[in-house]
Amino acid sequence: MKILIIEDEKGLRESIEEYFMEAGNICETASNFEDAMSKVSLYSYDCILLDITIPGGSGIDILKFLKKNNNTDGILIISAKNSLDDRLEGLDLGADDYLVKPFHLSELRARVTAIIRRKTFNGSNQLEYNEINIDLLAKAVKVNDQPVKLTRKEYALLLYFLANKGKVVSKNAIAEHLWGDGMDLANNFDFIYSHIKNLRKKLIEAGSTDYIQAAYGMGYKFTSP
Amino acid sequence: MKLLTRYNRVNLLTTIIVIVVAGIIYYQVIGLILINQLEKDLVVEENEILEYVSLNHQLPQVFKSNDQQITFTEAQPGTVRREFINTIYRNYDNHKYAKRHHRRDEDDEEFESGRGLITSVIVGDKHYKVLIVESTVEAEDLIKIIFGITAGVILLLFFTLFITNRLLLNRLWQPFYDLLRELRLFNVTDSKEIPLEKTNIDEFEELNQAIIGMATRVKHDYKELKTFTENASHELLTPIAVINSKLDTLIQTDSFSLQQSKLLSDLYSGVSKLTRLNQSLLLLVKIENRLLESNDHIDLKLHIEDLLMQFEEIFLDKEIKVSSDLDEKELFASTYLMDILLNNLLSNAIRHNCAGGEIKIKLTSESLVIQNTGTPEELKHNQIFTRFHKSTESEGSGLGLTISRQICENLKFTLTYSYDTPYHTFVVNF
């Protein structure tokens, strides 16, 4: 996938770039308004990560420009402004999603993946990974064509892992993804463990390879062994 | 004690003292004048007697007079000294008395106080002691009247003071009470000015001006502080985002030793705490600034059921027994705020619960009651809603209940805490 990162904060921009950089992905970056404008008007991307507050202008104007030109690029706003109005304005103007800083890279990745999936597979809602097949509309999971019954949270967890395959995903990121912002229930993430354990068990029992690995006690990694 | 009452008390007391003193002086002076008058009468009588004696060389005939009695008694020369005395007046003529008392026993002898003059007269070679007595009853009547008038004046004074206080002074103090009411309603987070009525009284006008000035300054300072908090929190977001993303990147590299991964875990939890704290601060500022107002239709029952489902795993994990009794309740409020409110209250009920504890949720059309077991000790009512107040073992930001209360205030709900063993109870009254 081809991604444009419009973000003025160098540290953040580089991290995102690094996280998305892998075989088959192209990441471009822009750190100011003119740069961003010239890139979005010249090239097309699968997804544009758009910061609202950038030097030289507003991300909202870039968004307006894109929409005016019937650009079909996926747009994910990443902003420090967590005000409802901004969020609504962004989404009203045609952004696909809105992510508030600070965020976990795995969360960003999951959102971007979801946007691209929606854009690319118009109509087709099948997600495949080796022997695992997911029907995104029916929210049904099959392993080797055998249906696996997952709970809501386990299903969300599987999608999250698939979007971040090959990456170590921290427990914090998982907890925030599954329970949202309200999840400030201490640092006891033991209950995540039971979800992961159940998901693993169900997949393995259905004949799948054991993809989920614990990573040094601080997270998990979905990867082919 | 009200200033007015106090003022009245002092005022009345001094007035009464003055009136009483004035009454006494009046009494004395009038008494003296009357006695003086009587004595003059007595002297006139004496002169008449002396004149009569010198003309006729015999004692005058004694008449029964209305208010004068004259008696002659023989006396040794030189034993009678001329003087005025207080004596008793024998009133034989009871006409007046009987008339006054509607009695007809006219023979009754009546004693009245009187003023007498003892003098001597010489008829031929005989010395006589002359006693002229005049009744002072008239004077006493007069004094009674004076006493009555004084008492009447005191009563009248009481009455008039009461009336003036009721009507006039209350009206005079009205601006003060208006001001007091406005001050009680004063809310530093409110943007509207204190509405004060103009008064013609200089003191009150000065007070009004001083208070308006003060309120403006306080509000200005508060606004500055709020802006600072908001800006600071905003500025913090980016560095936190960088730390967060760098951590996410770091854990993708190489393998870590157990010690390193422990360090990373701690870093993660530190950053996530910082993030939440920061978000809570921003949220609080926004709620206080009423930036999050909207009027969505909310089915509260459905909302709570959703939330309970969300927390299901956590209940299971912590072995918390949840029982809910939910009536239908619909209201109009911001979904966003309502979510935060419910989330906060429920998170608290979970966080401060004990293993194997209990949570009870009851929703009626008037209130939402969330009860949870936990430390068997009542929390301090006056502190739990203040910022950054939290129990020592709490991992929260210390802003949850502050935010909850602020949301309730915005939505015109009330949030109260009570402890009935073994439940900590939070009640939202709609």
Give the single-character DSSP code of A137: T
Last residue of a domain, one of A86, A120, A154: A120
Q: How far is B338 from chain A, CA to nearest CA, in Å?
A: 12
Question: Which residues in chain B are contacts of A195 at CB distance < 8 A?
Answer: 313
Interface check for A191 against chain B (CB to CB < 8 A): the answer is yes
Half-sphere exposure of residue A23: CA atoms within 13 angstroms, side-chain side: 2
At position B283, the amino acid (one-letter code) is L
The Cα–Cα gap between B183 and B193 comes to: 11
Interface check for A91 against chain B (CB to CB < 8 A): the answer is no
Q: What is the pLDDT of residue B97?
A: 47
With bands split at pLDDT 50, 70 and 90, how would you rate the model's confidence at B243?
Answer: very high
Nearest CA in chain A to B311: A179
Helix or strand or coil: residue A146? strand
> Could A218 and B244 be called an inter-chain contact, meaning their C-beta atoms sit closer than 8 Å?
no
- Best of A5, A160, A184, A196 to disrupt the B interface by mutation (most B CBs within 10 Å)? A184
Q: Which of A18, A102, A167 is facing B240, going by the closest CB pair?
A: A102
Same domain, A154 and A95: no
Same domain, A15 and A94: yes
Residue A183 has pLDDT above 70, yes or no: no
Provide the 10 A C-beta neighbour count for residue B213: 10
Q: What is the pLDDT of residue A175?
A: 84
Q: What is the pLDDT of residue A111?
A: 92
What integer is the mean pLDDT of A180-209? 77
Same domain, A176 and A146: yes
- CATH code where residue A188 lies: 1.10.10.10
Number of A–B residue contacts, CB under 8 Å: 126
For B275, residues 6+ apart whose C-beta sits below 8 A from its C-beta are A102, B240, B244
Q: How far is A185 from chain B, CA to nearest CA, in Å?
A: 6
Q: What angle do CA B214, B215, B218 make, to 5 degrees?
A: 85
What integer is the mean pLDDT of B174-199? 80
Question: Which residues in chain B are contacts of A83 at CB distance < 8 A?
Answer: 286, 291-292
> Could B269 and A187 be called an inter-chain contact, meaning their C-beta atoms sit closer than 8 Å?
yes
Q: What is the pLDDT of residue B3?
A: 74
With bands split at pLDDT 50, 70 and 90, how would you rate the model's confidence at B77?
Answer: confident
Same domain, A7 and A115: yes
Residue A187 has pLDDT above 80, yes or no: no
Written as one string, the DSSP assignment of A102-123 is S--HHHHHHHHHHHHHHHHSSS
Same domain, A37 and A106: yes
Same domain, A87 and A176: no
Residue B53 has pLDDT above 80, yes or no: yes
> Could A217 and B265 be called an inter-chain contact, meaning their C-beta atoms sit closer than 8 Å?
yes
Q: What is the pLDDT of residue A31?
A: 92
Do the beta carbons of residue A48 and residue A3 sit within 8 Å?
yes
Nearest CA in chain B to A216: B261
Q: What is the pLDDT of residue B103?
A: 44
Question: Which residues in chain B are contacts of A217 at CB distance < 8 A?
Answer: 258, 261-262, 265
> Could B247 and A215 be called an inter-chain contact, meaning their C-beta atoms sit closer than 8 Å?
no
Percent of chain B with pLDDT over 70: 93
Tell me the range of B84-93, B285-294, B329-338 where mean pLDDT is highest.
Answer: B329-338
Which of B8-22, B97-111, B391-405 shows the lowest mean pLDDT across its residues?
B97-111
With bands split at pLDDT 50, 70 and 90, how would you rate the model's confidence at A34?
Answer: very high
Q: What is the pLDDT of residue B287?
A: 82
Higher pLDDT: B347 or B165? It is B347
Last residue of a domain, one of A53, A86, A120: A120
Residue A38 has pLDDT above 90, yes or no: yes
Residue B290 has pLDDT above 90, yes or no: no
> Could A83 and B291 be called an inter-chain contact, meaning their C-beta atoms sit closer than 8 Å?
yes
Residue B106 has pLDDT above 50, yes or no: no
Strands B296-299, B330-333: pairing kind:
antiparallel
Do the beta carbons of residue A52 and residue A79 sit within 8 Å?
yes
Structural domains of chain A, count: 2
> Could B252 and A16 be called an inter-chain contact, meaning their C-beta atoms sit closer than 8 Å?
no
Interface check for A22 against chain B (CB to CB < 8 A): the answer is no
> Could B286 and A218 be called an inter-chain contact, meaning their C-beta atoms sit closer than 8 Å?
no
Q: What is the pLDDT of residue B192?
A: 74
Same domain, A154 and A75: no
Residue B74 has pLDDT above 80, yes or no: yes
The Cα–Cα gap between B73 and B159 comes to: 57
Residue ranges with strand state E in B261-328: 296-299, 321-326
Last residue of a domain, one of A94, A120, A146: A120
For residue A100, give the nearest of B298, B49, B241, B315 by alpha carbon: B241
- Best of B234, B246, B251, B262 to disrupt the A interface by mutation (most A CBs within 10 Å)? B251
Same domain, A130 and A114: no
Question: Which residues in chain A are contacts of B304 at CB distance < 8 A?
Answer: none
Q: Which of A15, A106, A218 is facing B246, going by the closest CB pair?
A: A15
> Could A191 and B313 be called an inter-chain contact, meaning their C-beta atoms sit closer than 8 Å?
yes
Do the beta carbons of residue B330 and residue B338 sit within 8 Å?
no
Domain extent for A152: 126-222
Residue A118 has pLDDT above 50, yes or no: yes
Tell me the range of B194-203, B283-292, B327-336 where mean pLDDT is highest.
Answer: B327-336
For residue A13, give the nearest of A94, A108, A95, A82 by alpha carbon: A108
With bands split at pLDDT 50, 70 and 90, how would you rate the model's confidence at A76?
Answer: very high
Q: Which of A103, A173, A180 is facing B241, going by the closest CB pair?
A: A103
Q: What is the pLDDT of residue A33?
A: 93
Tell me the range of A83-87, A111-115, B54-58, B109-113 where mean pLDDT is highest.
Answer: A111-115
Question: Which residues in chain B are contacts of A15 at CB distance < 8 A?
Answer: 242, 245-246, 248-249
Same domain, A150 and A66: no
> Could A102 and B265 be called an inter-chain contact, meaning their C-beta atoms sit closer than 8 Å?
no
Same domain, A110 and A211: no
> Could A19 and B292 be called an inter-chain contact, meaning their C-beta atoms sit closer than 8 Å?
no
Question: Which residues in chain B are contacts of A187 at CB distance < 8 A?
Answer: 269, 272, 395
Q: Which of B252, B255, B261 is facing A217, going by the closest CB pair?
A: B261
At position A128, the amino acid (one-letter code) is E
Q: Look at the pTM and tell me if it is higher than 0.80.
A: no
Same domain, A110 and A150: no
Nearest CA in chain A to B244: A104
Same domain, A104 and A140: no
Provide the 10 A C-beta neighbour count for residue B259: 8
Percent of chain A with pLDDT over 70: 91
Q: What is the pLDDT of residue B175?
A: 83
The Cα–Cα gap between A140 and A126 comes to: 10
Q: What is the pLDDT of residue B105?
A: 47
Taking only the tens place, the pLDDT of each residue in A21-32 is: 887 889 999 999
Nearest CA in chain A to B351: A185
What integer is the mean pLDDT of A82-103? 79
> Could B347 and A185 be called an inter-chain contact, meaning their C-beta atoms sit closer than 8 Å?
yes
Q: How far is B359 from chain A, CA to nearest CA, in Å?
A: 16
Give the single-character DSSP code of B395: -
- Best of B234, B235, B245, B315 to disrupt the A interface by mutation (most A CBs within 10 Å)? B245
Taking only the tens place, the pLDDT of each residue in A146-175 is: 899 988 888 999 999 998 988 888 888 888
- CATH code where residue A99 lies: 3.40.50.2300
Residue B101 has pLDDT above 60, yes or no: no
Question: Which residues in chain A are contacts of B336 at CB distance < 8 A?
Answer: 84
With bands split at pLDDT 50, 70 and 90, how would you rate the model's confidence at A49?
Answer: very high
Q: What is the pLDDT of residue B98?
A: 47
Residue showing tokens 């103007």: A93
What integer is the mean pLDDT of B273-302? 82
Nearest CA in chain A to B277: A184
Nearest CA in chain B to A19: B249
Q: How far is A122 from chain B, CA to nearest CA, in Å?
A: 30
Residue B134 has pLDDT above 90, yes or no: no
Nearest CA in chain A to B349: A185
- What are the percentages of helix, strand and coil residues in chain A, rounded to 5? 40, 25, 35
Interface check for A196 against chain B (CB to CB < 8 A): the answer is no
Higher pLDDT: A75 or B7? It is A75
Taking only the tens place, the pLDDT of each residue in B42-51 is: 888 888 888 8
Residue A37 has pLDDT above 90, yes or no: yes
> Could B310 and A19 be called an inter-chain contact, meaning their C-beta atoms sit closer than 8 Å?
no
Residues 26-85 of A with CB under 8 A from B: 80-85
Q: What is the pLDDT of residue A182?
A: 56
